[in-house]
């Protein structure tokens, strides 16, 4: 008797370029078998060697910003990887890249991203579809800092959006009285951003967008009021409302409140926002809060 496998033969090969920690975080290694059942073959690309030798690929999904950041910090090996990737993209324009580096690199600078988001908010067909918190950009953390026209509390962060671990370090500043303490967290001549802190009752809605598909998640965040400076890493924020994992500065809402908040999320305007941002940013996959 002939046994016919229910698993379809992979018809598309997806090349993935992520660092080991991101692969573990996204559980991409565990997703390989599920992807195969969906007719997809995941291949983790090794940039230490020729990409051509690892072909064929129908699509490549990458996070080259990590490699780019290390390259800018003087890592010669990462520079070779980055150049190998760009050369491959130039030689093989028929292979779709998510997303093209020319589109991604603009988002590595928070100032340019902010300006694009503001422009997007001002050009929506639906009036007041979304609001971008007011931000002020300074050449360093002492540059006319007390004269800037921004309300407190505020969040201070580096202008560089990603590529290094330091780019994810942020500081909540309750008032101008605490500005002097920023010198503990930023280099004196380092470009920074001050962004008005929007009260959100300790609950953050994370929105992920991928080629028209919208996914939302509820995450704990900081309470509306805090009385001292708070430094944190945005990549290490708790993913759940487990009281054992959240600090006293963060939300302590109970499960019934969380369920109610999830049910109150209106996906229609979020979809409109995502569609509009995609047109403005020119990328296929992105996220916002």
The answer to the question of whether 245 is labelled as a binding residue is: no
The answer to the question of whether 200 is labelled as a binding residue is: yes
The answer to the question of whether 70 is labelled as a binding residue is: no
The answer to the question of whether 62 is labelled as a binding residue is: no
The answer to the question of whether 197 is labelled as a binding residue is: yes
CA angle in degrees (0–180, nearest 5) for 218-220-226: 145
Q: pTM score, two decimals?
A: 0.82
The answer to the question of whether 17 is labelled as a binding residue is: no
Fold that domain 12-98 belongs to in CATH: Rossmann fold (3.40.50)
The answer to the question of whether 159 is labelled as a binding residue is: no
The answer to the question of whether 228 is labelled as a binding residue is: no
The answer to the question of whether 22 is labelled as a binding residue is: yes
The answer to the question of whether 221 is labelled as a binding residue is: yes
The answer to the question of whether 127 is labelled as a binding residue is: no
The answer to the question of whether 4 is labelled as a binding residue is: no
Domain boundaries, the chain: 12-98, 108-288
Q: What does each of the 289 residues of the chain score in pLDDT, given as a tens digit?
A: 444 455 556 589 999 999 888 888 888 888 888 999 999 999 999 999 999 999 999 999 999 998 998 898 899 999 999 999 999 999 999 999 999 999 999 899 999 999 999 999 998 887 888 999 999 998 876 666 667 788 999 999 999 877 667 888 999 999 989 988 988 998 888 899 999 999 988 888 899 999 889 999 888 888 888 889 999 988 888 777 765 555 667 765 555 466 666 667 888 999 999 999 999 999 999 999 9
The answer to the question of whether 54 is labelled as a binding residue is: no
pLDDT at site 1: 45
The answer to the question of whether 110 is labelled as a binding residue is: yes
Fold that domain 108-288 belongs to in CATH: D-amino Acid Aminotransferase; Chain A, domain 1 (3.30.470)
The answer to the question of whether 195 is labelled as a binding residue is: yes
The answer to the question of whether 166 is labelled as a binding residue is: no
């Amino acid at each position: 008797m002939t046994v016919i496998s229910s698993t379809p033969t992979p018809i598309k090969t997806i090349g993935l370029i992520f660092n080991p920690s991101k692969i573990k975080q996204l559980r991409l290694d565990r997703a390989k078998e599920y992807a195969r059942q969906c007719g997809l073959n995941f291949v983790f690309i090794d940039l230490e060697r020729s990409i051509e030798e690892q072909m064929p690929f129908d699509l490549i999904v990458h996070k080259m910003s990590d490699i780019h950041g290390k390259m800018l910090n003087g890592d010669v090996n990462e520079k070779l990887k980055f150049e190998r990737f760009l050369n491959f993209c130039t030689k093989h324009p028929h292979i779709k890249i998510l997303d093209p580096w020319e589109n991604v690199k603009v988002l590595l600078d928070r100032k340019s991203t902010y300006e694009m988001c503001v422009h997007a908010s001002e050009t929506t067909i639906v009036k007041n579809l979304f609001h971008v918190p007011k931000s002020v950009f300074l050449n360093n953390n002492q540059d006319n800092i007390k004269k800037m026209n921004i309300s407190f509390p505020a969040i201070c962060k580096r202008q560089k959006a990603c590529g290094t671990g330091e780019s994810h370090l942020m500081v909540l500043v309750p008032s101008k009285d605490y500005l002097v303490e920023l010198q503990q967290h930023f280099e004196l001549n380092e470009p920074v951003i001050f962004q008005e802190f929007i009260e959100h009752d300790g609950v953050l809605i994370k929105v992920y967008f991928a080629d028209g598909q919208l996914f939302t998640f509820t995450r704990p965040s900081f309470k509306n009021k805090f009385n001292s400076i708070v430094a944190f890493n945005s990549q290490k924020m708790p993913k759940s409302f487990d009281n054992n994992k959240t600090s006293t500065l963060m939300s302590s809402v109970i499960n019934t409140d969380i369920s109610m908040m999830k049910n109150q999320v209106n996906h229609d305007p979020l979809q409109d926002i995502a569609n509009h941002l995609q047109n403005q940013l020119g990328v296929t996959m992105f996220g916002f809060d």
